[in-house]
Structure 1
Amino acid sequence: MAAVVPIQAALYTIMVIFGILGNGLVIGVVGESVLRDSRRGAGADIILVNMALSNLLVSLVRNIPLMLADMGLQLYLSMEWCRLFMCVWVWLRAANVWSTFFLSAFHHHTLHRLGPRQSGSHGPRGHPGPLLLGIGLIWALNLLYSIPAYIYSKRGDKNSTETLMLISTTTRPLLGCMWNFPDPYRGLIYSTASLLIHELLPIILMSVTNVSSLYKLYGHGRRRFGGNAVEDALEVRRIPAERRAAKVIMALIILFTLSWGTSIISNNSINFNGSQSGGALLVVARFANSTFIALSPVVLTFGHRRMRAVVKAMLSP
């Protein structure tokens, strides 16, 4: 592995620390709000906590070892520990992707409640049970997706070079762990399936659901409500709040698409084209992988009322 430029290591360390502190703050602030206002059915806040938790776990389990390796600390795990860590890396990255999409899909679904209410629709927003079930399915299904990482991985050494780059694990041998497919064709099949199902599909779905949400909000803003005047007034007041939420989610999706998409292009350029500028592409991919984790708490700070209030209180003299 080539030596890491000191400025590169310093910038990556700042991003990792920023991601840990920022996502930890989101979990603490928004999680406390969920517990305090649980009867109000704060579904979006529950999903935000889940997304921040997946970001935090990726930073702790994957990005910190990368940061320590940049500082010159080289650790090598046994074969069994390598298999376990490769499985966990894939699991956390996969759950992180679909947790981000779940936020966009949930907001799109809630917009169906915007507008005149039907009879029997009064009262609280509903029990969070189905929402928690959906989050549980995300983690369970992505755990199944990560099983091949346990089977097809091995322990390398300091002279080992990773030839298959998957965005869901690492862009270089880490802790001595690397992919070990029986033949190149199986590795190519797995990387292609990962590219289509796990890397491109979430970006497409996020873009479609968020554009659809903005279109729905535009339609609601122009529609004239009928029926109960009090309920109509409440719904009209909800539209600006929902529009602000849609803009925040759109900002998160754009940030995710740019960071995730950059990493996809870099990794798969090496996988399928054998790019000669592999070293530079790996640097781009590694920073792109961490950009969303580091900057998403900043976006939430601007868009979430409780987060904004806490950060203002922290920064005020």
Structure 2
Amino acid sequence: MAAVPLVQLALYTITVVFGILGNCVVIGVIGENAVREGSRGPSSDIILMNMALSNLLVSLVRNLLLLMADAGIELYLSLGWCRFFMCIWLWLRCANVWSTLFLSAFHHYTLHRLAPAQNHSQGSHGFQRVLLGLGLVWALNLLFSLPAYIFSKNGERNRTETLMLVTTTTRPLLGCVWNFSTPYIGLVFATTFLVFHEMLPIVLMIVTNLSSLYTLYGHGRTYSGTKPEEDTLILRRIPAERRAAKVILALITLFIVSWGTSIISNNHFNFNGGRSVEFLLTLARFANTGFIALSPVVLALGHRRIRAVVKAMLVH
């Protein structure tokens, strides 16, 4: 492995550490409120905590190990452990993508149910549905990650990867590499994951967020000064939902920029190669950590409770 430039190592260290600390703050603040309020609390907080948890796990299990490798710490795993870790890495990255989509889809669903009939008696059922949905996200992605256990092995110390998958890696780690029987099978596998786990979630995020914004402004036109007193609750909720939509839109935009950059860089390497390979893979690595590091900042700006805690931490 070529030596990593000191400036690049320093910048990558900052993004990884910032992502770990930021997501820990998000989990702590929202988790404390979730424990205190239980099913009475907003279901969106559970989804935000799940997204932050997936970000944190990716940072600890994958990005932190990459940072250690860049710092010169050499660790090489056996075949069994390589298969295990490749499966875990793939699982966490896929769950991270679909958890972010789940946030966007949930807010879209909530806006379409914005009506006077909503009351607190439905809160526990909504809470249970959210937990069930998140459970399915993690369970299904674990199932989809099993091929990583089959198509991976431990390589030699000077082994370089010839196929990059956004959902798992931008280069070998701990001596673990993909092991396809033929280049054709590898490209079919990479293309399948490119469409299903990388491009499809981004398209769905764009569609749901644009639809959410359209629905919000539709609610504003419908209820602005035209309804009797029973619609007062909705009139109060619309500004709050609009603020939430802006935060979620910022999160999804950040995710699309980060993830899209990584997709373009890695798949240019897969299908074209060329002289710019080293730059593209470096760009992909930073893009992979960009969303994890910056999403807590977006949440701190838009989430009142997190913003208050961060201000208190900065003051003291």
Question: 1:130 aligns to what?
Answer: 129
Query: What is the correspondence of 1:1-317 to structure 2 with a 5 Å cutoff?
Result: 1-115=1-115, 117-118=116-117, 121-127=118-124, 128-224=127-223, 228-229=228-229, 231-317=230-316
State the Cα RMSD in Å: 1.2
What runs of 5+ residues in structure 2 fail to find an aligned partner? none
Distance 2:228 2:78 in 1: 68
Q: CA deviation at 1:17?
A: 0.5
Q: Is the 8 A contact 1:75 1:176 kept in 2?
A: yes
1:239-293, Cα deviation, whole Å (9 max, x unpaired): 1100000000000000000000000000000111123211111100000000000
Q: Is the 8 A contact 1:40 1:125 kept in 2?
A: no
Q: What TM-score, normalized to structure 2? A: 0.96
Structure 2 counterpart SS, 1:178: strand
- Which amino acid in the other structure matches residue 201 of structure 2? P
Q: CA deviation at 1:227?
A: 6.0
Q: CA deviation at 1:113?
A: 2.5
Structure 2 counterpart SS, 1:299: helix
1:81-121, Cα deviation, whole Å (9 max, x unpaired): 00000000000000000000000000001112224x24xx4
Distance 1:135 1:50 in 2: 8
Q: Is the 8 A contact 1:41 1:124 kept in 2?
A: no
- Which amino acid in the other structure matches residue 4 of structure 1? V
Identity between Structure 1 and Structure 2 (%): 67
What runs of 5+ residues in structure 1 fail to find an aligned partner? none
Distance 1:99 1:79 in 2: 30
Distance 1:103 1:191 in 2: 26
Distance 2:120 2:241 in 1: 19
Q: Is the 8 A contact 2:9 2:70 kept in 1?
A: yes
Structure 2 counterpart SS, 1:73: coil
Distance 2:121 2:315 in 1: 36
Q: Is the 8 A contact 1:40 1:124 kept in 2?
A: no
Mean alpha-carbon deviation: is it higher for 47-56 or for 35-44? 35-44
Q: What TM-score, normalized to structure 1? A: 0.96
Structure 2 counterpart SS, 1:154: strand
Structure 1 counterpart SS, 2:257: helix
1:187-239, Cα deviation, whole Å (9 max, x unpaired): 0000000110100000000010001000000011111376650x312211111
Q: CA deviation at 1:165?
A: 0.2
Distance 2:155 2:15 in 1: 27
1:43-91, Cα deviation, whole Å (9 max, x unpaired): 1000001000000000000001100011011110000000000000000
Structure 2 counterpart SS, 1:37: helix
Q: CA deviation at 1:126?
A: 2.2
Say if 1:39 and 1:135 are closer, same or farther in 2 by CA, change over 3 A. closer
Say if 1:95 and 1:39 are closer, same or farther in 2 by CA, change over 3 A. closer
